[in-house]
Amino acid sequence: MTSSVKRVSIPKNGVDYRGKVVLAPMVRSGELPSRLLALHYGADLVWGPETIDKSMIGTTKRINPLSSTIDYTRTPSNHSRTPGSAVKESYIYRLHPARESRRLIFQIGTSSPSTAVEAAKLVAPHVAGIDVNAGCPKPFSTSGGMGAALLQKPDHLASILSALVKEVGEVFEIGISVKIRLLETAEKTEALVRKLCSTGITGLTIHCRTTPMRPRERAIRDQLHMITDVCRSEGVACVMNGDVKNKDEALQLMQEFGADGAMIATAAEANPSSFRTSEEGGLLPWREVVHEYTKIALEVDNKWGNTKFTLGQLIPGKSEVYKKVTGSKSYIEVCEALGLEHLYEEARGVDDRIGLSQFRDATAVGKAKCKNKSAQAASGRPGAERSIEAETRRPLSERGVGSFNMAV
């Protein structure tokens, strides 16, 4: 007689992390277009970037008919400093129900059960799960008692998870999970994992680094067997994270350490086609990936600053187009630099909608001036251009500007 393996039941609207290779939560690199691109290349699930609970509370939820997205926005707190000017709302979170909703995990930054629940309820109807960030080591997170600071308060972290399970998970029928780091000793890590698994969560991700460690330091997997065993005994799916380079390696590591899933971070930031197996062709050339990303960014009217940042991660620094793209000020300039003529019309439309047309027009004027100078030089009349420039460089008094009649 064989004993059945214990498993926490997966809610109707939730998703089982078992057998999944997923995109890690990353600030800036986990925004909407990056998530859609990862799914396009084969990611099973995607985590959004950590979003602080208090930043979500008080947002306005809107359905965007142009991009088919759900946008959570808020008015900047300093808008009153510029009276009379139009108030531009800030995007706090964006998701695409049709293209990612049932495969999207919303990661929340929190230090309070009540605010965690309040914020999670806003997005719960549109995601497959809520994940608590208990591993971020950066001061902006830990200084507020969030992220890795929660690892030092296991009971408090457990109370946050329990509240989310009861008031969000059970109500909206989605899973609640947590992402942690290794503690100083295996004994402390084991005690923490057991406590968290007893809260009713459906998944636990272990980042195989301690809080003081940085990404450049090699991941530690000595405790991984123990952690996966504890999770399995409690029926909770265990996802491993840290130095996972591609889907093939993810599947191999899952088998080696008994993990239920694996999370890819920096490798996907550099080239999200890392979610393709070798049988599917493996990594694609960066140009193909960049073209696909640009197309998706235009489809969802992505924030310009985020698009520019992401392209800077995807394009090799030594590439001839790197400087052109990172120095561009509009979508049309990016498309011109990348030779994406078929996207010109869409790029101009997005520039107009998000307020980049002024930079596009200024660039066009600058190019026209340069072209005009070149034409005059080619026609043998460079002296005329120089005389105009010399005139504009003369002091105002020498040009008679300062000798007007004050009585006029």
List the structure tokens of 161.
């998870």
Find all residues with CB under 8 Å of 277, minimum gap 6, and list them. 42, 247, 248, 251
The answer to whether residues 71 and 46 touch, using CB atoms and an 8 Å cutoff, is: no
Question: Is 136 annotated as catalytic?
Answer: yes
Phi, psi of 96 (to 5 degrees): -115, 100
- Quick one: angle between helices 247-257 and 224-234, nearest 10? 70
Nearest in space to 161 (alpha carbons), one of 138, 184, 134: 134
Are 246 and 283 in contact by the 8 Å Cβ rule? The answer is: yes
> Which one from 136, 197, 238, 335 is the annotated catalytic residue?
136
Tokens of 92: 């706090």
User: Strand pairing of 90-95 and 69-74?
Assistant: antiparallel
Integer CA distances (angstroms), 390 to 217, 225, 371, 376, 404, in order: 58, 76, 19, 16, 22
Other beta carbons within 10 angstroms of residue 385's beta carbon come to 14
Catalytic residues: 136
